[in-house]
A = this chain, B = another copy of it.
Amino acid sequence: MSGIRSRLLHLGVEALLFLDVINIRYLIGFAGGEGALLIGQGQAILLVDGRYVTQARQEVERVEIIEYEDKVEGIVTAILNDGSKTVGFEAQAISYDTYARLKESLKGLKLKPISDEIDTIRAIKDEREIELLRRAAEISSGALASVRDLIREGVRERDIALDLEFKMRHNGAEQVSFATIVASGTNTALPHAIPSTRKIENGDVVVIDCGAIYEGYHSDETCTFVVGQANARQKEVYRLVREAHDRALDTVRAGVPCSEIDRVARACIEEGGLGAYFSHGTGHGVGLDVHEAPRIAAKSKGILEAGMVVTIEPGVYIPGLWGVRIEDTVLVKEDGCEVLTKISKDFRILI
């Protein structure tokens, strides 16, 4: 944390206040669901409510733990005791309401919004983090491979999602990264479909998007299959999305702008005449959060660096018809990337 402290204090503040529990977990290892961390002049202080005092004592070292009844009042007291006159806070993690209450109670102090410094630090993973991300990807890929026999005519989307989540958890996931998407037929035209009671039919496209959490770290992978038999249009769109995915993967290496990865994938789909149906960015960072820095999108300003872990997930969604998305999570290296997710993205008809 001392390294983080020195980097963050370059921001021209005497103290930093964190309310984002994932940032707090990243900085000091506290994995509770609510709290505040003040890194100031004196010892770092973790503020928690009564539910988390014992857990904090078990998980956190060299940080003072203070219990609060009212969170904002607890923060105010901690800041006043610390004596800092300029306090940085996470502009995206703090609500307007909390900000307004702090400002009211801390007249004479300067509260300075810090935008994405910690996100930038978190984006680059160390060896331990990479190992956990690798393990998370193995768990979800393994589970997805093991439910493939279930993806057949007559089975409900919801039952596949449930079995897949059960297998991820059984294989060691502490939780799933997000509500698993299992979409079939026209439901695949929604990028974020919720598994329904729809039964898979012969000739359906099936999109499965899932991830596992292992010691706080997430995985994220999407496979698209066709069940029974595929028509020419399905094969053609799959080939195009696969080409966009592969070209983007080939472009990933340290030093490349994130926007360039998106441009390469998007250009490929535009060449195929389906640019209007690629309705989201090409990817995002993955770590303690399933969506974190950097964004891989047209307007992204970031540059890929070695140690970043990002998804590459182009998709095409034809309204009323069906959609295809192909997603891997990859580790950025100096000279390319390592694909952490394990399922082959070759076109596959499940029979």
Interface residues, chain A, with chain B CB atoms under 8 Å away? 31-33, 49-55, 69-70, 89, 91-100, 113, 115, 162, 165-166, 169-170, 174-175, 179, 189-194, 279-280, 299, 317, 319
Contacts and interface: CB of A to CB of B under 8 A. Distances in A.
Nearest to A116: B97
A3 B179 CA distance: 33
A165 B174 CA distance: 13
A115 B101 CA distance: 12
A248 B295 CA distance: 49
Contacts of A89: 96
B93 A113 contact: no
Nearest to A193: B55
Nearest to A33: B192
Contacts of A100: 91, 113
Q: What 9 pairs between A and B have smallest CB-CB spacing?
A: A50-B279, A91-B97, A51-B191, A92-B97, A96-B99, A162-B169, A91-B96, A51-B192, A92-B95
A51 B280 contact: yes
A193 B55 CA distance: 8
B96 A53 contact: no
A115 B100 CA distance: 11
Contacts of A279: 49-51, 53
A197 to B, nearest CB: 10
Contacts of A113: 96-97, 100
A339 B96 CA distance: 36
Nearest to A172: B158
Contacts of A193: 55
Contacts of A33: 192
Given A91-B96, A91-B97, A96-B99, 16 more contacts: A31-B194, A51-B192, A51-B279, A51-B280, A54-B189, A54-B317, A55-B190, A55-B193, A70-B299, A89-B96, A91-B100, A93-B95, A94-B95, A96-B113, A100-B113, A162-B169
Nearest to A95: B92
A52 B51 CA distance: 36
A175 B100 CA distance: 35
Contacts of A194: 31, 174
Contact of A166 (B99, B166, B319): B166
